[in-house]
Amino acid sequence: MPPSAVICFAGPRDRYQSALALQENHALEALVTEAYFSKFWAETGLFGKNFHRFAKVRHHPEIPATKAVRSLPAFVQTLQARFNRRKDSPHFAAADRLLSEQAGAVALARRAPLIAYSYYADAAFRKLEGAGLSRILFQVHPNGKYLRELFQAEIEKVPEAKASLMEETEMSPLFAHNDETFARADAVICASSFTRRSLAAAGSRAPAHVVGYGVDLDLFSARAVAPSARPLTVGFVGALSQRKGARYLLGALAALPKGAAKLVLYTRAPVDRDLLRGYEDVDLEIRAGLSDAALSADLKQCDLVALPSIAEGFGLVILEAMACGVPVLCTTSTGGADFIQHRQNGLLIAPGSQAAIEQELVWALTHRDELFQMGQAARREAERHTWAEYRRKFFAAYVASLPA
């Protein structure tokens, strides 16, 4: 039986599936986080709907609250960060450091291995230096130095996207200390091969295990019939940003015959109007604030979902759309490259190319039946990527990361 581990991350990361992987194998020593609630608080409505919604998301029925070690200072900093909503907020940086310090202290006190998600690893790993305890890094996003160089090149290529890219966490010096956390890790777990490549490019030599995320096949259920809407309906899920290839997608849509396609943006974030400049003629519909259930139902009306990111740690929406039977157009710089076969169960292209996106959209316009069949194959692929399978692989990666 492997030793029980401390795991550290903020918010309901990957729906607590990594912590659950340890818990169901009797190997969860503690979950260090900024906020986690018991069943009572997750179910009660004593303090109104907003609190209930917050508490419900930060609870998992199979992870007892007694396993959680909370950092109140980190929570306070996180609340302050919500006022400006920027990814590069100094309050987020402070919250990350406080949570990391707490995780290191807990691991030391309990003599337990530590699994720390990338933003929360640096201070904890330093604290464990020489303690003889395993330090396992879960690299959530591609390496920061790698991304910064990529984004700087992208700004030169697409100046209109500068504001969008400068808001990315990795562009702020407040988070630069995360660039070489891998050097203190005994092993690394990544959600995609692309993220593993970014670490290798940055100089990491630690053993790295790729464990791709999963999807809720019941929530994101398969459609049985092809969408009847015309024109070609392309869905985009998340914040419209250049990291996600927004300008390339808009340019490709603008190049199509007028009225041939429309873009549906599903988002909970403000829309960066700089990214839309010059593409005002693109048929764009914004559907904001949908629940996961509503999103699942609405995605089924799309012919395809596009996520032409220049860099993505994984891209959960890829599997969620595939589970709905909707094919995805994504790049090799996403987790989709690990399981999408081009024009079989999705559309896979190189990043940073408007021409490549346009080519696939032109093909889709005249191959609607094939596109639907591709979506059926996408669903079959998604069925291989359940959260249960993710937990199995995550626990196996944890065990493989421990010293022999």
240-284 per-position pLDDT tens digit: 999 999 999 999 999 999 999 999 999 988 888 889 999 999 999
pLDDT value at residue 83: 76
pLDDT value at residue 270: 84
Contact indicator for 382, 221 with CB cutoff of 8 Å: no
pLDDT value at residue 271: 86
**Among 288, 290, 293, residue whose Cα is nearest residue 221:** 293
Tracing tokens 């998604």 back to the chain, one arrives at 382
Mean pLDDT per block of 10 residues along the chain (404 residues) reads 96 96 98 96 84 92 97 93 76 95 98 97 97 97 96 95 92 94 98 98 97 97 88 96 96 96 93 90 94 95 97 97 98 98 98 98 95 98 98 98 93
10-44 per-position pLDDT tens digit: 999 999 999 999 999 999 999 999 999 999 999 88
Helix (H, G, I), strand (E, B) or coil at 220: coil
32: enclosing H helix or E strand:
strand 28-33
Concatenate the DSSP letters of all residues of 301-369 into one string: T-SEEEE--S--S--HHHHHHHHTT--EEEETTSGGGGT--BTTTBEEE-SS-HHHHHHHHHHHHT-HH
Residues near 112 by beta carbon (within 8 Å), at least 6 away in sequence? 3, 4, 5, 6, 29, 30, 106, 133
Assigned CATH class of 232-382: alpha beta
pLDDT value at residue 134: 98
The two domains 5-214+387-401 and 232-382 share their CATH topology (first three levels equal): yes
pLDDT value at residue 14: 93
For residue 115, how far is the Cα from the chain centroid?
Answer: 18
Fold (topology level) of 5-214+387-401: Rossmann fold (3.40.50)
Which amino acid appears at position 30 of this protein?
A: A
Domain positions in the chain are 5-214+387-401, 232-382
Contact indicator for 96, 73 with CB cutoff of 8 Å: no
Could you give the CA distance from residue 322 to residue 11 in angstroms, rounded to a whole number? 25
